[in-house]
Structure 1
Amino acid sequence: MQQFDNNEHPHRRYNPLTGEWVLVSPHRAKRPWQGQNETPLHDHRPEYDPLCYLCPGNERSNGVMNKKYTDVYVFDNDFPALLQEEINYKAESNSLFQFKPERGINRVICFSPRHDLTLPEMEVTAIEKVVQEWKRQYQDLGSRDFINYVQIFENKGAVMGCSNPHPHGQIWAQSSLPTQVEKTQASLQKYYKEHNTSLLADYLTAELEKKERLVTENSHFAVVVPFWATWPYETLIVSKRHFGNIVQMTDEESKAFAEIIKRITVRYDNLFNTSFPYSSGIHQSPTDGQEHPEWHFHMHFYPPLLRSATVKKFMVGYEMMGEAQRDISPEKSAEILRNLPEVHYKQTV
């Protein structure tokens, strides 16, 4: 009988944040760099686009004019997924058809007035302004009595459903805990009650000792490819200090957070010399007025690119019918990301 090798043999890995499993099949991608390396099409965009509804001073679809903003700009989403109005409703008597109205507020945050930039191409000082605005939005929206969770996220690239290339993200604040957040909270609470410590603090300590899945770090944050990663180059930013939400960051931590965002996103762009698509999002404590010592601030990056700028991996087939699956091991993808330069490829041409 062969001795198990996690870089050779198929196996399942447990995700302690959600209680789910992922199937890892590393033998299918022993040489992830072999084969398709198409030259990506470079997206040359102007600093200002008169037809872009997110550029400064331009008119949006509802007739509202954007301010002639010079750094970060936030406005209520013109096509919100959630509405603020309270609705009367009668619950369905059949438990198989449960529903309830959901209240919330959706906002758009433009990271920069420049149409041609993305986070990895922005200066750290400019990204820090985004972080400060995230703080203000979390505090403002979370203070409303009907808001119990504030989800900050970014969809980058058309392949991830982004309808406009102007650098921007979204903030969805709502009455209920979203499903993934609810799963995470249950896991964090269970671990905290059993160990009287943060699950992610203990996890990060172990990862920093092993270093095999560590991509980069600074004094306050570390980027790892999670042991349970599903997406090919999925990463997780975890704060080294245990705190629950972005408002609890010190000024020094805010700067370090901006820096670590730039460091991982530059690596992403450098991986295939293209503007790397991803969905990213911050997970932090609810805004329900309760104490949440179990929560530990972290940020997920879920990118779909696998072997080149055009070869993608989404959750299909077995992943939709069975469970999540990946070929390249988390350890291998961490090694590849770790060895990439921190200078953006456009600056080396």
Structure 2
Amino acid sequence: MSDQHTTHRRKNPLSGKWVLVSPHRNNRPWSGATETPSIQSLPDYEQTCPLCPGNTRANGEQNPSYSATHVFNNDFGAIIENLDPTPTSPAPHFIEQHVTNGECRVMCFSPNHNQTLAQMSKVQILAVVKEWQRQYQELSKTYNCVHIFENKGEIMGCSQPHPHGQIWAHDHLSSEVETENARLADYYAEHGSNLLADYISFEQQQASRIIFENESWLVVVPYWAAWPFETLLICKVEAVSFDDLSEADMHGLSEALQILTVKYDNVFNCNFAYSMGWHNAPNNIENKQHWRLHAHFYPPLLRSASIKKHMVGYEMLGEPQRDLTPEQAAEILKAASTTHYLRG
């Protein structure tokens, strides 16, 4: 294994891509010093918010007075149902396009305008998890690829502060899922075992990058992490999609999500921004034994609530590069309290 104190590269087995690690650029222990961010105090209810209960959205529809989660079709969805299967006209071999068919939904996590996952109880998060399962079960009957994700924070392009996620479902396999499917299948064919199951065992032996673990879930800063505080949330039971989760698995997931998101907020005492998303096995493949349900968390914050990591220059034209090693990031996350800083 590469020396933790010298420049080296680490390979992501799920994508086949590499990340350049430069620990000498951050070779002294870092205490996680923070800056005071600009704090926007949000009310429980905002009368101009299109996601709050009872309010009217841009298309004129009115939200119900919901008390837990609420899901509706995205008024500005990037993908729409396209019933015209007409193939595209012939084009040069370097130009290719296909009709995309699918739909986009918005999911409000809570009726409270100011309540993120990190500020919700395990019971409230469990309602979110169960709704994810219901939405997956419904959409997977029609579409091959179902993406459940959340963009949290303005710096991640989130246009509405009301805590919410999105669900995009479509016939085609997204590029990330297609790549992961191929990598996972190749590993299974070569080794006769599941890559993520083997990776769980590896991390349990190493122990240095694990942030949290219960009977059903493991949260780890992956060995190949590209973003400063990137984490991977992996199902320990043999589930290839949300459809396979038991009641106990969903309770375990609500616990894992609460602890991880609280720890994130406590790193810099702020509403910690990230993009996160679930990868389920595609529905149009016959054998799924190489799959394991998992979620990626990609937070951009680096040294404070207002300083983010930018993927520019070499990262865009070469490959991702990081100064803070995954092991150092894991130590910071492990040290973060499980009691939210606003309740401390």
TM-score, normalised on structure 2?
0.97
Q: Are 2:266 and 1:270 aligned?
A: yes
Provide the residue aligned with 2:47 in structure 1.
50
Q: Match of 1:237, SS?
A: strand
Call closer, same or farther: CA 1:35–1:178 in 2, change over 3 Å: closer
Distance in structure 2 (CA, Å) of the matches to 1:216 and 1:274: 21
2:27 to 7, 23, 30: 30
Call closer, same or farther: CA 1:14–1:4 in 2, change over 3 Å: closer
2:129 to 122, 128, 131: 131
CA contact (8 A) 2:216 2:253 kept: yes
Alignment deviations for residues 263-292 of structure 1 (CA, whole Å, 9 cap, x no partner): 000000000000000000011111226331
Using the aligned pairs only, state the percent identity: 47
Deviation at 1:34, TM superposition (A): 6.7
Distance in structure 2 (CA, Å) of the matches to 1:13 and 1:289: 30
Distance in structure 1 (CA, Å) of the matches to 2:239 and 2:51: 33
Provide the residue aligned with 2:180 in structure 1.
184
Provide the residue aligned with 2:15 in structure 1.
18
Distance in structure 2 (CA, Å) of the matches to 1:117 and 1:30: 37
Distance in structure 2 (CA, Å) of the matches to 1:264 and 1:36: 20
Call closer, same or farther: CA 1:4–1:57 in 2, change over 3 Å: closer
Deviation at 1:241, TM superposition (A): 1.4
Distance in structure 2 (CA, Å) of the matches to 1:164 and 1:135: 24
Alignment deviations for residues 92-112 of structure 1 (CA, whole Å, 9 cap, x no partner): 331111111111110000000
Provide the residue aligned with 1:218 in structure 2.
214
Provide the residue aligned with 1:347 in structure 2.
343
Q: Match of 1:96, SS?
A: coil
Deviation at 1:218, TM superposition (A): 1.3
Amino acid at match of 2:313: G
Q: Match of 1:138, SS?
A: helix
Provide the residue aligned with 2:309 in structure 1.
313
Provide the residue aligned with 2:56 in structure 1.
59
Provide the residue aligned with 1:234 in structure 2.
230
Provide the residue aligned with 1:150 in structure 2.
146
Provide the residue aligned with 2:110 in structure 1.
112
- Paired residue total: 343
Deviation at 1:116, TM superposition (A): 0.8
TM-score, normalised on structure 1?
0.96
Alignment deviations for residues 137-174 of structure 1 (CA, whole Å, 9 cap, x no partner): 11111101xx1100000000010010001010000001
Provide the residue aligned with 1:248 in structure 2.
244
Q: Are 2:334 and 1:338 aligned?
A: yes
Runs of 4+ in structure 1 off by over 4 angstroms are none
CA contact (8 A) 2:106 2:165 kept: yes
Distance in structure 1 (CA, Å) of the matches to 2:287 and 2:162: 37
CA contact (8 A) 2:281 2:288 kept: yes
Distance in structure 1 (CA, Å) of the matches to 2:101 and 2:21: 39
CA contact (8 A) 2:88 2:97 kept: no
RMSD: 1.5
CA contact (8 A) 1:270 1:344 kept: yes
Call closer, same or farther: CA 1:334–1:81 in 2, change over 3 Å: same
Distance in structure 1 (CA, Å) of the matches to 2:146 and 2:192: 26
Amino acid at match of 1:311: I
Q: Which moved more, 1:148-157 or 1:39-48?
A: 39-48
Which structure 2 segments of 5+ residues have no match? none
